[in-house]
Structure 1
Amino acid sequence: MTRIVAGTVGGRRLAVPPRGTRPTSDRVREALFSAIDALLDLSTARVLDLYAGSGALGLEALSRGAASVTFVEADRTAVSVLKANITTVGLRGTSVVHGKVAGFLAGEPTPYDVVLADPPYAADVAADVTALSGWTVPGALVVLEQSARAADPVWPAPLEPMRKKKYGDTVLHWAEHPVE
């Protein structure tokens, strides 16, 4: 089990898929959303949660006031758990896409204010990171969670690297879509 750290449903427990996912720790989620809160107004933000797993990142964003979240997850069991978690927390503004991130990003881009990507640590996500071009609005933030041993991402234009923060074996890579 994991939980929503803060916001309107803070403390609510979330189920996690029995295998194949690694939920972001409470400590990392708290640091992530404290930083996001300092950088933009979540109340109007459209959030894209890639490799959603249990939905903990996107549901945390909704609990903290995000306008909407689109979850993308390929694993059927994880999608079932994700949908159950959405029902459990009772927050509106969700959309679940059952499919591979690469397939979703190959579609027509819909710009988002925040993109959260928490792929499996062993996954090669270089092509998915490159495909993010066109999926962000000016002023948007993109956060990629990876193993601290993984290579730094190469961000596509217009995204620019912003910061990198390590938490034990986890690293958050931040990029921004500059406002012209």
Structure 2
Amino acid sequence: MRIIGGTLKGLRLNPPKNLPVRPTTDLAKEALFNILQNQIEFDNIKVLDLFSGTGNIAFEFASRRAEQVTSVDRSIHCIHYIKDTAKQHQLSNIKTFKADVFKYLDLETDQYNLIFADPPYDLNRIPEIPKTVFEKNLLLPDGLLIVEHQSMQNLSNHPNFTEQRKYGHSSFSFFRQQ
């Protein structure tokens, strides 16, 4: 796992082997950030990274000078790894929260330019993520929600869905705040 852009480009991340995660592959992450590079300015955005795991996506946004990256995961080991790595690389723009993502979303009142969710693929509540994000109005105007999921899953029935990009067994579904 490596940072592919920004101030920490090329940095290899070596999370502990025992973390309960399935990190986004470098290939899929590179494709995602190539798409985003043409759609958003990374400077000064607020990002919410749900099911953060290793912090792979959070570190990528922080490296690209996002103003604030909020990482949420229920594993204390993941949260400790993200905190320690952020401190080691002076990424003061990363905040972490140990929480169940759905409980966190129910209580969240801040708005974000971009929300990224990478839930476990076998989680049956994945369609609730866009539903909750838009019901709670958690995106700023023109904000973007991206949900990573298995390619065979279809999230296109949500009214804010815009497109799905497939990368092998993984897909990114994009939702836009109007």
Same fold flag (TM > 0.5): yes
SS, match of residue 106 in structure 1: helix
SS, match of residue 137 in structure 1: strand
SS, match of residue 34 in structure 2: helix
Q: Which has the larger displacement, 19-28 or 146-155?
A: 146-155
**1:40-61 residue CA offsets vs partner (Å, 9 max, x unmatched):** 1110210000000011101101
**1:73-96 residue CA offsets vs partner (Å, 9 max, x unmatched):** 001211122212212332121110
SS, match of residue 140 in structure 1: strand
The CA distance in 2 between the partners of 1:109 and 1:49, in whole Å, is 15
8 Å contact kept, 1:54–1:85:
no
Amino acid of the structure 1 residue aligned with 2:6: G
The CA distance in 2 between the partners of 1:44 and 1:50, in whole Å, is 19
Rate the CA distance shift 1:153–1:163 in 2: closer, same or farther, 3 A: closer
SS, match of residue 166 in structure 2: strand
User: For 1:108-119, what aligned pairs fall within 5 Å after superposition?
Assistant: 108-119=108-119
**Aligned residue in 2 for 1:123:** 123
The CA distance in 1 between the partners of 2:3 and 2:107, in whole Å, is 31
User: For 1:6-155, what aligned pairs fall within 5 Å after superposition?
Assistant: 6-17=5-16, 18-124=18-124, 125-133=126-134, 134-152=137-155, 154-155=157-158
The CA distance in 1 between the partners of 2:144 and 2:117, in whole Å, is 11
Q: Which has the larger displacement, 86-95 or 44-53?
A: 86-95
8 Å contact kept, 1:15–1:85:
no
Q: Let me know the Cα RMSD of the aligned residues.
A: 1.5
The CA distance in 2 between the partners of 1:6 and 1:108, in whole Å, is 29
User: Mind listing any 5+ residue stretches in structure 1 that lack a counterpart?
Assistant: none
Provide the identity percentage.
26
Amino acid of the structure 2 residue aligned with 1:6: G
Amino acid of the structure 2 residue aligned with 1:126: P
The CA distance in 2 between the partners of 1:52 and 1:73, in whole Å, is 5
SS, match of residue 15 in structure 1: coil
The CA distance in 2 between the partners of 1:20 and 1:30, in whole Å, is 23
SS, match of residue 42 in structure 1: coil
**Aligned residue in 2 for 1:4:** 3
Amino acid of the structure 2 residue aligned with 1:151: N
The CA distance in 2 between the partners of 1:73 and 1:154, in whole Å, is 27
User: Mind listing any 5+ residue stretches in structure 2 that lack a counterpart?
Assistant: none
Aligned residues: 174
8 Å contact kept, 1:109–1:135:
yes
- Measured after TM superposition, the shift of residue 109 of structure 1 is 1.8
- Measured after TM superposition, the shift of residue 15 of structure 1 is 2.9
